[in-house]
Amino acid sequence: MKKILFVAILILCCAGFVSGSNEETTRESLEPVNIDFGEQEQIFRQSIPSIANQFIGIPYELGGNPQKTGTSDNSYLFFSIYAMAAQKSGLSYKGYLPMAHLLPRTREVNKNDLKNGDLIVLNDNHAAMIYWIDDTQKMYFIYASEKRQQIIAFNSDNPVYQAYWLENFKGFYRVSEAMLTHSPR
């Protein structure tokens, strides 16, 4: 009986020691990282390609929220990518906005200054997100296609980019910095 009691006490002590060491590691990992907004924005932009790739091929649905329904429209697609990239970089994205409300919170950017996460906007305010620009400056786009009923990707070498997107081109736009804030710790 004394042996069983001793073993039980020993097990409890070891369990407490192990869980205590996990708490210290957890506390350390939750301490704020001191990096400036520029570095956080760079991490935000670098996170976009891998996040965007997760959405390619999911079904289109007007008002679809990928986290809740596994479907998406353009507004929720862009919101989801921005919010997940912001979270990875220690920032917060201000919130879901339908395209009509998102576009006024962007600023036009020059083609020579494009970055991951920028938007190509058409004259009718339909948009696709530039989710990656490779070393040759080829752009990769993602958007929710109502016609194809899914989230699709294409690149700037695609004939549709020349024949449709550039024919109806309004401009390239970037979400304003005001849409990204430091995450509360």
pLDDT tens readout for residues 60-73:
999 999 989 999 99
User: Residue 146 has which token pair?
Assistant: 């109502």
Across 98-124, b (16+ Cβ under 10 Å) vs e yields eeeebbeebeeeeeeebbbbbbbbbee
pLDDT-derived band at 177 (thresholds 50, 70, 90) equals: confident
Helix runs in the chain, H state only: 2-30, 37-53, 66-69, 74-88, 99-102, 159-160
Find out whether 103 and 173 touch, Cβ atoms under 8 Å: yes
Kindly report the pTM of this predicted structure.
Answer: 0.79
Per this entry, what is the length of the chain?
Answer: 185
Across 55-62, average pLDDT: 97
Q: Which of 81, 50, 76, 51 is nearest to 65 (CA)?
A: 76
Question: According to CATH, what is the number of the domain 35-182?
Answer: 3.90.1720.10
CA atoms within 13 A on the CB side of 56: 14
pLDDT at 4 over 90: no
pLDDT tens readout for residues 77-121:
999 999 999 999 999 999 899 999 999 999 999 999 999 999 999
Calpha distance 12→161 (Å, rounded):
65
Q: Among 18-27, 75-84, 149-158, where is mean pLDDT lowest? A: 18-27
Calpha distance 131→119 (Å, rounded):
9
Q: What angle do CA 86, 151, 138 make, to 5 degrees?
A: 75
